[in-house]
């Protein structure tokens, strides 16, 4: 998928107005990326295909989630959390412990006029306490699956959908996690990199 195809993929599924907001986010991301090393330098020319579509594909996977908040753990550059906030209408919490990255996320939220729905939590997932169990938890390139489930399980209940891009290690991480965690785990191939997988988990609870 090239950049033109990626933009078309977004436009066809989410509309021109949301594509326009995503374009502005891209400008902010490219301006800040060299300062904080937010994304790999090798992907600066392919943010739509490598980052935006990679994040946006999670939105339809969350289609049957209950009402409630989308929690993005270790948001970093805002991937997938900012993209999810732009492309759907539920509230989003961006959990990011590094101060400079949290400041960048807060600036993006202000610039894109997302303050009514999006909050930036400068903390690790372990320290974040939502008012009620969240509907969706996402995390991209954060930690090994068992550790990730342990760090955010207190934010979830059995109805929470976990959407976790895990690369080529997705299935092996699921196999390892099943020793400590119960639930329904499915690995969905990524549309941007078919050899990579997205772990979709429901009913997650410790054994």
Domain ranges of the chain: 3-206
pLDDT score at 1: 87
CB 118 within 8 A of CB 94: yes
pLDDT at 42 over 90: no
CA distance 75 to 36: 14
Token look-up 């732009």 returns 86
CB 105 within 8 A of CB 120: yes
pLDDT at 40 over 90: no
CA atoms within 13 A on the CB side of 102: 15
Segments in 117-183 forming alpha helices (H): 145-152, 170-177
pTM of the shown model: 0.95
What class, spelled out in words, does domain 3-206 have in CATH? Answer: alpha beta
43 pLDDT tier (thresholds 50, 70, 90): confident
Binding residues for S-adenosyl-L-methionine: 74, 79, 125-126, 140
CA distance 30 to 44: 7
pLDDT at 199 over 90: yes
144 pLDDT tier (thresholds 50, 70, 90): very high
Percentage of the residues of the chain whose pLDDT score is greater than 90? 86
Residues with Cβ within 8 Å of residue 132, at least 6 apart in sequence: 68, 69
CA atoms within 13 A on the CB side of 42: 0
Cα–Cα distances (Å) from 113 to 64, 103, 118, in that order, read 26, 15, 9
Binding residues: 74, 79, 125-126, 140
CA distance 161 to 156: 9
pLDDT at 45 over 90: no
CB 105 within 8 A of CB 96: yes
CB 101 within 8 A of CB 35: no
pLDDT score at 93: 98
pLDDT at 44 over 90: no
pLDDT at 152 over 90: yes
Calculate the average pLDDT of the chain. Answer: 95
Exposure of 84 by Cβ count < 10 A (0-12 exposed, 13-18 middle, 19+ buried)?
Answer: buried
């Amino acid at each position: 998928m090239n950049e033109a195809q990626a933009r078309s993929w977004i436009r066809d599924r989410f509309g021109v107005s949301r594509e326009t907001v995503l374009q502005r986010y891209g400008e902010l991301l490219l301006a800040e990326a060299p300062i904080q090393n937010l994304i790999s330098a090798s992907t600066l020319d392919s943010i739509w295909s490598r980052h935006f579509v990679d994040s946006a594909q999670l939105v339809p996977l969350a289609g049957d989630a209950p009402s409630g908040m989308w929690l993005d753990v270790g948001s970093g550059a805002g991937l997938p959390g900012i993209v999810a906030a732009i492309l759907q209408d539920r509230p989003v919490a961006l959990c990011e412990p590094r101060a400079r990255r949290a400041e960048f996320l807060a600036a993006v939220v202000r610039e894109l006029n997302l303050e009514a729905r999006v909050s930036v939590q400068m903390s690790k997932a372990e320290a974040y306490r939502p008012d009620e169990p969240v509907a969706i938890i996402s995390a991209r390139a954060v930690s090994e699956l068992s550790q990730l489930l342990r760090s955010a399980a207190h934010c979830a209940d059995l109805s929470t959908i976990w959407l976790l891009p895990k690369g080529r290690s997705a299935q092996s991480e699921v196999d390892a996690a099943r020793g400590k965690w119960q639930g329904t785990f499915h690995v969905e191939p990524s549309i941007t990199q078919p050899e990579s997988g997205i772990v979709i988990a429901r009913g997650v609870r410790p054994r």
